[in-house]
Amino acid sequence: MNPLEFVRQTPPFDTLPQEALAAVERGLEIQFFPKGTRVLERDGPPSDHLYLIRKGSVRLLREGREVLALEEGDCFGYPSLLSKDAPAFDVVAEEDLLVYGWGAKDFAALTAYPAFAQFFNQGLAERLRLASQGVAPALNPVNLDLSLPVGEILQRGPVFVDSGSTVQQAARLMRENGISSVLVTDSLAHARTLGILTDRDLRNRVLAEGLGPDTPVTQVMSTPVKTLPASVPLFEALSFMVRQGIHHLPLEDGGKVVGVVTDTVFLRQQARSPLYLLRRLERTRDPADLRGYREELTGVAEALLAGGLGAREIGRSVSSLNDQLVRVLLELAEAELGPPPTPYAWVVFGSEGRMEQALLTDQDNALAYQDDLPEARPYFARLAEFVVQGLLQAGFPPCPGGYMATRWHKPLAEWEALFRRWIEQPSPPELLEAQIFFDFRPVHGRLSLQGLEQVVAHSGENGLFLAHLARAALQFRPPLGLFRRIREEEGGVDLKKGGIAPVVSLARVYALEARSSARGTLERLEAAARAGRLSAEGAETLSEAFNFLTRLRLREQLGALRRGEPPSHKVPLEALSALERRHLKEAFVEIREMQEALSQRFQTDRLG
């Protein structure tokens, strides 16, 4: 391959129009540096060239510590070239190095092309945000643009019925208008919406209960009405309907209901719609009916990713479906075992607790109950076994570490004592495993976990606990070495260990320090920034890195499933474009820098 062919295939030169390539060829200089050469010196003269590595590799060093390794197709020298400041790193040839270079004037001329200039001038957060938008599976996206305001799909205004009406009058009004719901108001002026009456209410609360046509609508309507602003995006409306388990969603504008959107809008995708799967769960009468849930949920995740949704939105939708699955299993369990002897709460933690699942992963669940009665332990042991086995039938693998309710079911007082011990007497080996419990989230049951929430809320006051949690957050480190070696020796980059898990752990520490009750990683980063525990820029960059890495992992996992292969956290480097590899390296550098800052802040090297 001649030099120009290589250059024109390498980002950002691949964005240049044909007329610019002649200038690229004219200005191209070929330089060779033997192994060990210091090409640029930290705090030395500014770089006078943009360098593109053709063969070999370099290491970027700060005070002798390796920050990043660059190899074929990577650029360096441009930060100093743009700012005219001294280089921030020593750039040392790790191998014999062949580079292509362009002087300052040639580089400046090329930056007249916007796409080329953006490659060097955009902040990392913005680059990762744009990169995330390009991560999608190879299938047709959903029919709807899920970023549209949900109000734009309304086809008609709402239909109201007065609170003094009967169900027969309401049913006639629904038939005359060809609709499946009416809104119940306290007057014909529609001053206040009291509730909503749907065709499901007529079937389940009127006909099935043997009530007559003169039954007041206020007796059988659904109340209070769950609404959203008409300006929210479609994906948010979809996620809300799944979480609430509703099929009709009134929309408001300026405090007034302007229409009702129904689940039929989203059912156009058939089995790929979250609401389609929600309806399937509602019809479940036996755990055996849940076979195939894993495959259907995979289709939902694939459609949402193709529809352009981010990690937060996909995680919320998938986790909401999994929550409903658990509720169905618990209701079936109670129907078989009888009512619980004392109030309880089914709890999930880990990625499910953070609402960040996309594909089904290991079960991470537990159970807390109120009173330590003699009959409580055997009852909840059987309840946990029923639900865990049902989750296995649905496709949830068992947790290799045994973090499931079959083992972790105990009175709330014992849970509170356990959390206090983790916080007040932190043990490094124990906390390394226990940290995911701090992502807990109740899914079902009447037991309030407010006491446990308060215990966790006060954990941010314990500096020793935070320091040990910070050290646990350093368990996994992003790889900063040559990707070529990773490809040859490890078969790909582990996105979970290298990037996703470190960001999750960083967010957990900073959020607890900020006394935030947030569970999701992105929400935790936002809370930490608001509290001043993390810079706004750092929080934004980590958030975009998390979104990019999560979507990239999901895309590769879905691709593996389509090929009949087991999904993995590793991504083969040959599956990534040159630009994606660059973004991956930059994300890893930022995550590593944030880990170093966390370590210094909590002085983790001084812990015994």
Question: How confident is the model at residue 194, as a pLDDT?
Answer: 85
Percentage, residues of the chain above pLDDT 70: 94
- Burial profile 326-341: b = 16 or more Cβ within 10 angstroms, e = fewer: bbbbbebbeeeeeebb
Q: Where are the alpha helices (DSSP H) in 223-273?
A: 234-244
Instruction: Label residue 303 exposed, middle or buried (CB < 10 Å: 0-12, 13-18, 19+).
Output: buried
Nearest to 21 by CA among 140, 113, 138: 113
Q: What is the pLDDT of residue 327?
A: 92
Judging by DSSP bridges, how do beta strands 160-162 and 181-185 pair with one another? parallel
State the average pLDDT over residues 60-84: 89
Strands 58-62 and 90-93: antiparallel
b/e 276-286 (16+ beta carbons within 10 angstroms → b): bbbebbeebee
Instruction: Take residue 327 and report the two structure tokens written for it.
Output: 């509720």
**How many whole angstroms separate alpha carbon 52 and alpha carbon 300?**
42
- Residues 355 and 520 sit within 8 Å (Cβ to Cβ): yes
Token output for 431: 């906390």
Please give the pLDDT value at position 297: 86
**Per-residue pLDDT tens digits for 433-483:** 889 999 999 999 999 999 999 999 999 999 999 999 999 999 999 987 777
| pLDDT of residue 271 exceeding 80 | no
- Residue 131, classed as helix, strand or coil, is helix
Beta strands 29-33; 58-62: pairing state: unpaired
Distance CA 271, CA 302 (A): 11
Kind of pairing between the strands at 365-369 and 409-411: parallel
- Cβ burial of 72 (10 Å; 0-12, 13-18, 19+) is middle
pLDDT of amino acid 304:
80
How would you list the strands of the sheet with 97-103, edge to edge? Answer: 29-33, 97-103, 49-55, 75-76
User: Which tokens sit at 191?
Assistant: 């001053």
Tokens 């960083």 correspond to 506
For the chain, the straight-line distance linking the first and the last C-alpha, in angstroms and rounded, comes to 56
Q: What are 342's two structure tokens?
A: 């004392």
Nearest of 458, 452, 380 to residue 413 by alpha carbon: 452
Q: Sign of torsion, CA 366 371 377 380? A: negative
Quick one: which H or E segment has residue 38? strand 38-40
3-state secondary structure of 55: strand
pLDDT top residue among 369 and 489: 369
DSSP code for 18: H
How far is CA 303 from each of CA 131, 146, 231, 277, rounded to the nearest angstrom? Answer: 19, 11, 23, 13
Residue 142's pLDDT is what?
A: 45
Q: What DSSP state is assigned to residue 6?
A: H
Residue 118 has a pLDDT of 87
- pLDDT confidence of residue 140: 41
Report which of 239, 227, 294 is spatially closest to residue 266, judged by C-alpha positions: 239
8 A C-beta contact, residue 483 and residue 578: no
d(CA 325, CA 279): 11
- Edge-to-edge strands, sheet with 160-162: 160-162, 181-185, 193-198
Closest CA to 180 of 203, 213, 211, 162: 203
d(Cα 307, Cα 146) in Å, to the nearest integer? 7
Q: What's the token pair of residue 321?
A: 């479906």
Burial per residue of 588-597, b for 16 or more beta-carbon CB atoms within 10 angstroms, e otherwise: bbbbbebbee
Mean pLDDT confidence for 128-157:
66
Query: CB-based contacts of 555: which residues, under 8 Å, 6+ apart?
Result: 135, 136, 137, 305
Q: What integer pLDDT is reported at residue 136 of this predicted model?
A: 59
Do residues 545 and 495 touch, judged by C-beta distance below 8 A?
Answer: no
pLDDT given at position 192: 75
**In the predicted model, what is the mean pLDDT of residues 151-176?**
88
Distance of alpha carbon 507 from alpha carbon 304, whole angstroms: 25
pLDDT of 583 over the 50 cut: yes
Could you give the CA distance from residue 517 to residue 367 in angstroms, rounded to a whole number? 20
Confidence bin at 141 (pLDDT 50/70/90): very low
- Is pLDDT above 90 for 506? yes
Which of 177-191, 274-288, 354-368, 413-427 is the most confident on average?
Answer: 413-427
Measured between alpha carbons, how far is 293 from 277 in angstroms, rounded to an integer?
8
User: Would you say how long the chain is, in residues?
Assistant: 608
Say if residue 378 is preceded by a cis peptide, omega within 30 of 0.
Answer: no
Token digits of residue 433: 């495993």
In the chain, the percentage of residues whose pLDDT exceeds 90 is 53
DSSP bridge pairs for 185: 162, 193
Compute the distance between CA of residue 293 and CA of residue 35 in angstroms, rounded to an integer.
55
Neighbours of 438 (CB within 10 A): 20
Query: How sure is the predictor about 137, in pLDDT bands with cuts at 50, 70 and 90?
Result: low
Q: Classify the C-alpha dihedral 572-575-576-577 as positive or negative.
A: positive
Task: Give the pLDDT of residue 328.
Answer: 92
To the question of pTM greater than 0.85 for the whole model, the response is no
pLDDT of the residue at 514: 94
